[in-house]
């Protein structure tokens, strides 16, 4: 009944850990939801009002997206990237995840996935029937590949087409890629296209965030959307920015879109115009300030001679490595942590690492972001007392996790 292609696929681990956490809470257990990555902040009120005002919009929109929205996205991105994107370069989709899937389906070549990579990249590559090269990375390189490591893969067969997935700030590590220019040089030298997943870029803790599109826009497809910076994961609106040099890809994604999702919800698209046309820097800066402070608290209080961890540079993740030989896999490690402490984490093996590496993804979003945001000024220094007041489960969960790591 089922195709061999799908028999070994499992539900997305990020969605599964959220469901598992919910069921455990229904059983009366206290769970620290450090496994599911979802913005703790509400959608800005002006954008919510725009959605209400456009609830009557009931017509199918153009499959590439509402013209005014695409124009707003192009102008918004052109300002940030210092590159002239036009509305025709923009494809609006029901979340960037769906657009990535269509890219996997149409691409004819080999996929290069650095480990760690977001959990859905590899399953989508399987569904797209593409061969995938998993490129193991190192902590000292911020968990990103070096240019020479990418080149080594390409030199095995220079006649192939290659598609590199690059996610910075990264899910699951929270790190930013610092060798973009060198990777861009490889893309220019060989037949390498880059999917730059920038869904967390607005939440970078660095003021001078750079995209690889700053160095090779003609080889880069930018992928992002509303879910992380705008707190609108459930609205399901993402987009691709495809340069003129890759017009074949854009045109074919539009063809597949016409046969799959047809068009994104009309009220959502009309509301999103306000998200990209208006200035939301006050909201974004408050979000970044809070997330940076909470992430830094986790980093300072969890790192030890039993836990290796890099400080988060953006988004809402950290990737601790537990130094022990008690467990056979990172999945077994995370099961033990959940059973012993109530702290839900995702194992590093879900992100492409060898299962014997005791790595896990920790999402520091288990708090009421709106209450926190309402309390502080935009550039206010956030101390541990404020975190204790507005993110008590972060404090308690980290304490449990640290004590557990010291006891094993």
Beta strands, E only, 108-208: 110-115, 131-136, 162-167, 192-197
pLDDT given at position 83: 82
Q: Which residues contact 60 (CB under 8 A, 6 or more apart)?
A: 262, 263, 266
pLDDT given at position 59: 93
* Alpha-carbon distance values, 253 to 110, 162, 271, 352, 375 (Å): 18, 18, 24, 27, 44
pLDDT given at position 145: 97
Please report the DSSP string for 212-260 in residue order. GGGT-GGGEEEEEESTTTSS-GGG--EEEE--GGGHHHHHHHHHHHHHT
CA distance 298 to 405: 14
pLDDT given at position 16: 80
Residue 2's Cβ-count burial label (10 Å; 0-12, 13-18, 19+) is exposed
- Give which of 154, 241, 170, 161 is closest to 193, Cα–Cα: 161
pLDDT given at position 381: 93
Beta strands, E only, 265-375: 307-308, 317-318, 321-322, 343-344, 346-347, 360-363
Give the domain 47-277 fold.
Answer: 3.40.640
Are 125 and 104 within 8 A, CB to CB?
Answer: yes
Sign of the C-alpha dihedral computed for residues 43, 47, 52 and 56 taken in this order: negative
Please report how the helices 392-407 and 330-341 are oriented relative to each other, as an axis angle in degrees rounded to 10.
120
Token code pair at residue 245: 């040099």
- Give which of 239, 229, 237 is closest to 74, Cα–Cα: 239
DSSP-derived letter for residue 87 is: G
Beta strands, E only, 79-182: 90-93, 110-115, 131-136, 162-167
φ/ψ (deg, to 5) at 204: -65, 135
CA distance 356 to 336: 15
pLDDT given at position 11: 76
φ/ψ (deg, to 5) at 67: -55, -45
Whole-model pTM: value is: 0.94
Q: Where in the chain is the domain with CATH 3.90.1150.10?
A: 4-43+281-407
Give the domain 4-43+281-407 fold.
Answer: 3.90.1150
Q: Where in the chain is the domain with CATH 3.40.640.10?
A: 47-277
pLDDT given at position 105: 95
The DSSP bridge pattern shows strands 192-197 and 162-167 to be parallel
- Give which of 335, 395, 340 is closest to 364, Cα–Cα: 395
φ/ψ (deg, to 5) at 370: -70, -45
Are 172 and 361 within 8 A, CB to CB?
Answer: yes
pLDDT given at position 80: 80
Return per-residue pLDDT of the chain as tens, 408 residues.
878 888 787 777 777 888 888 898 899 999 999 998 889 999 999 999 999 999 999 999 999 999 999 999 999 988 887 788 999 999 999 999 999 999 999 999 999 999 999 999 999 998 898 899 999 999 999 999 999 999 999 999 999 999 999 999 999 999 999 999 999 999 999 989 999 999 999 999 988 889 999 999 999 999 999 999 988 898 999 999 999 999 999 999 999 999 999 999 999 999 999 999 999 999 999 999 999 999 999 999 999 999 999 999 999 999 999 998 899 999 999 999 999 999 999 999 999 999 999 999 999 999 999 999 999 988 899 999 999 999 999 999 999 999 999 988
Are 200 and 315 within 8 A, CB to CB?
Answer: yes
Find the length of the chain. 408
């Amino acid at each position: 009944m089922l195709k061999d292609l799908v028999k070994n696929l499992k539900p997305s681990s990020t969605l599964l850990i959220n469901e598992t956490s919910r069921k455990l809470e229904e059983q009366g257990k206290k769970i620290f939801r450090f496994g599911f990555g979802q913005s703790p902040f509400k959608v800005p009120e002006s954008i919510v009002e725009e959605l209400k005002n456009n609830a009557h919009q009931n017509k199918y929109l153009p499959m590439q997206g509402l013209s005014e929205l695409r124009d707003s996205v192009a102008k918004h991105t052109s300002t940030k990237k210092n590159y002239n994107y036009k509305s025709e370069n923009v494809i609006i989709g029901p979340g960037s995840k769906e657009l990535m899937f269509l890219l996997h389906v149409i691409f004819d070549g080999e996929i290069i996935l650095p480990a760690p990579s977001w959990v859905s990249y590899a399953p989508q590559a399987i569904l797209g029937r593409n061969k995938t090269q998993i490129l193991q990375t190192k902590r000292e390189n911020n968990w990103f590949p070096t240019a020479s490591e990418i080149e080594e893969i390409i030199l095995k067969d220079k006649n192939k087409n290659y598609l590199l997935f690059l996610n910075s700030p990264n899910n699951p590590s929270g790190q930013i890629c610092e060798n973009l220019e060198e990777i861009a040089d490889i893309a220019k030298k060989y037949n390498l296209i880059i999917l730059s997943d920038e869904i967390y870029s607005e939440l970078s803790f660095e003021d001078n965030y750079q995209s690889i599109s700053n160095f090779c826009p003609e080889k880069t497809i930018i992928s992002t959307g509303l879910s992380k910076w705008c707190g609108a994961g459930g609205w399901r609106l993402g987009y691709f920015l495809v340069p003129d040099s890759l017009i074949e890809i854009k045109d074919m994604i539009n063809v597949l879109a016409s046969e799959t999702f047809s068009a994104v919800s009309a009220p959502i698209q009309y509301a999103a115009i306000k998200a990209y046309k208006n200035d939301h820097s006050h909201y974004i800066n408050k979000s970044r300030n809070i997330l940076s402070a909470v992430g830094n608290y986790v980093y300072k209080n969890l790192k030890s001679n039993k836990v290796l961890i890099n400080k988060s540079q953006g988004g809402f993740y950290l990737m601790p490595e537990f130094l022990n030989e008690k467990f056979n896999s990172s999945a077994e490690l995370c099961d033990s942590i959940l059973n012993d402490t109530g702290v839900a984490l995702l194992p590093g093996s879900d992100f492409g690492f060898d299962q014997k590496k005791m790595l896990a993804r920790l999402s520091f979003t288990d708090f009421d972001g709106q209450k926190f945001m309402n309390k502080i000024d935009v550039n206010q220094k956030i101390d541990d007392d404020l975190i204790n007041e507005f993110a008590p489960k972060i404090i308690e969960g980290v304490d449990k996790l640290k004590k557990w790591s010291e006891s094993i």
